[in-house]
Amino acid sequence: MQYQDSIGYITKSIQNSNQKDRVFYLAYLSSMAIILSILEYLIPKPLPWMRIGLSNAITLYAFGVVKPKEVFYIVLARVLSVSLLIGTFLSTTFILSLTGAIASYFVMLLLFRYFKKIFSFVGISIIGALTSSFSQLFVVNYLFINSQLSYYLFPVLGGFALVGGIITGYFAEFLVRNI
Amino acid sequence: MSKDRPNQVLKLGDIVLILMVIIGLGFLSFNLYGNDQGNKEVMIIGQNFRGVYPIEKNRKIEVKGPLGDTIVVIEDGKAWIEYSPCREKICMKMGKISRVGQQVVCVPNRVLVEIEGRNGDIDAVSR
């Protein structure tokens, strides 16, 4: 796994682990993401779109530890479990969070592959957050309300994504240094 | 474990990215919210009358209704009913309107005054 080595913080134990240990490790990462996501739902917010995206820090962390395919499993497990726990499974909220999660996953995957020299966790996190927000706006615009409302929300959501992305990026860096 | 990671978290690309996002968002919001003033017009509907006026120009419009003339005033980006021949004068008490979607209505004299967005504005917001 030369891709993992290039990140620079992988432990030997995970790299050379067997299938069973890997599954346990993925479940461990997923549960951390779920807990962070739910904790974030508990924070009172003036606007429903104001999300920090702390669970994205786990995704960022996972990109360096496990295979990209397995990161995708973590993302999917997180979105599904959180929607079941919060009670939004198959609702609009669920579709939006799935959209944002998948879109930001693919963008962050590209960034980790090709732009790792340029960006740190913070940069990748910001771009991921922006992708998440704007893909959700796109879906809202074309699936649900079909109006130009989204143009007016662009700067607002972009600002939240920037701040949340910076926080999440630093949090991911903190995780990498301390776990 | 990660002793080999550099002390400084941010790389050059991050700082450039953050600045670019801030500038881009600022530019975008300036474009979206900046020229909001010139994007509205006043629509007046009477019994046999329909007119659309730009909100920037001050003017007085008399609208004929079944009870008499209702006087609508547009001034300083606001519109209101100055005088109405109806009994309750509710429309005169409804005050001045300036935002897209706001209305002043006089039911007895069949007059509706509404602020409309010119183009690309929001039709409605559900609350």
Determine whether the interchain pair B24/A158 forms a contact, defined as Cβ–Cβ distance below 8 Å.
yes
Instruction: Supply the Cα-derived Rg of chain A in whole angstroms.
Output: 16
What's the pLDDT at A125? 94
Nearest CA in chain B to A165: B18
Q: How far apart are CA A83 and CA A111, in angstroms?
A: 27
What phi and psi values does residue B83 have, to the nearest 5 degrees?
A: -145, 140
Render pLDDT for B59-100 as a digit per residue (tens, 0 to 9). Answer: 899 988 898 899 999 988 889 999 999 888 888 888 888 877
Give percent helix, percent strand, percent coil of chain B, each to the nearest 5.
25, 35, 40
Closest CA to B58 of B88, B34, B36, B82: B82
What's the pLDDT at A7? 43
Q: Is residue B75 part of a domain?
A: yes
The minimum CA-CA distance between A2 and chain B, rounded to whole Å, is: 18
Q: Please, what are the domains in chain A?
A: 9-178 (1.10.1760.20)
Whole-structure pTM value: 0.68
Q: Is residue B25 part of a domain?
A: no
Render pLDDT for B17-37 as a digit per residue (tens, 0 to 9). Answer: 999 999 998 888 887 776 555
Confidence tier at A23 by pLDDT (50, 70, 90):
confident
Nearest CA in chain B to A157: B25
Q: How far apart are CA A32 and CA A172, in angstroms?
A: 12
Q: Check whether A3 has a pLDDT greater than 60.
A: no
Structural domain span for residue B101: 39-118
Closest CA to B109 of B53, B51, B63: B63
Chain B positions touching A57 (Cβ under 8 A) are none
Assign B25 to helix, strand or coil.
helix
Chain B positions touching A162 (Cβ under 8 A) are 18, 21-22, 25
Render pLDDT for B99-116 as a digit per residue (tens, 0 to 9). Answer: 777 889 999 999 999 888
Chain A positions touching B12 (Cβ under 8 A) are 118
Chain A positions touching B11 (Cβ under 8 A) are 117-120, 123
Tell me: ipTM over 0.85: no
Query: What domain count does chain B have?
Result: 1
% of chain A residues with pLDDT over 90 = 40
